[in-house]
Amino acid sequence: MLPHRVPAATRRAVSAVSAVAALALLSGCGAAGGLRSAGDAPSAVEPKHLWPDLPPASSAPYDYGEGETARIPGIRVTGGDVRRLDPVAVAQAGLKAKTDRDSGLDELPDDTVRQVEACRTAPDDCPVLPPYYRDLTGDGRDELVLGIRMPDRQIAVRVYMPDGDRLTRIMSTYDAVISVELAGRDVIMRTPSVIPGYEYRTAWSWDDRQRAMLPTRDEILRTPEHRKTPQPQRTPTSTPTGTGAGAGAATGAPTPSAGSSTRTPRTPSESPAGTR
């Protein structure tokens, strides 16, 4: 379909109205004291291409499993509603799923596999965590987000998308996590760094072309406790009884500043399914 073109007369009319509005805005600023300069803007520096003679790589040296998907066998999604699915049944069926690229990175450790298989008979040792639901693909239907506990405090995070009456896994990764969050249509994983005072933060987002969740942003950031925080206020020294203002000033006691605030801890926006 060709894009809709705006008639030239309409464009000129819009331009005239915009010009009048801009003049009125400038006049209003002048009446309030005129425009003020914010100083010289920094000069733009164009990117420098380093080692331009090097030939570009044609293939990735490693396969990290990004973009792998898998159809989950034996699972039917009634009405495209993943909330009707049993999370344990999904995790167990996923053990038999074959990825489209078969990198082998989706496999769970043998001990974890045995625990998942025994979830019905040994529920106290079941490593499948409570599920979450969120529309991560933007199609108006919720996806199923599962976590599976692994050794060494690692978590396998998996996202499942309803695909007709079938179920497709569109994300699978694992790491030793600090936290896993849902922010908008992203799955954000915070993981420890070997650098003291820093952590990794990776955002996984839906990619229409790949039809999978991809790690679209990968950052290394300071941990919250190492970020710059306001210095604590000093308690003013009390003035001795019977002394004048000069004696009080000689003590060097600072005047407490007004308007100080306390940072409120962030609370989760959602609760796991089945909890209040």
| 84-132 pLDDT, tens digit each | 999 999 999 999 998 877 666 668 999 999 999 999 999 999 999 999 9
| 120-168 pLDDT, tens digit each | 999 999 999 999 999 999 999 999 999 999 999 999 999 999 999 999 9
Domain boundaries, the chain: 70-225
Concatenating the DSSP letter of every residue in the chain gives -PPPPPPHHHHHHHHHHHHHHHHHHHHHHHHTT------PPPPP------STTSPPPSS-SS---TT--EEPTT---GGG-GGGS-HHHHHHHHTT--BSS--STTPPPHHHHHHHHTTTT-GGG--BPPPEEE--SSSSSPEEEEEEEETTTEEEEEEEEEETTEEEEEEEEEEE-SEEEEETTEEEEEEE-SSTTEEEEEEEEEETTTTEEEEEEEEEEE-GGGS--PPPPPPPPPPPTT--HHHHHHTTPPPPPS----PPPP--SS--TT--
| 182-237 pLDDT, tens digit each | 999 999 999 999 999 999 999 999 999 999 999 999 999 999 876 665 555 555 55
* Span of 11-20, 48-57, 78-87, 173-182 with lowest mean pLDDT: 11-20
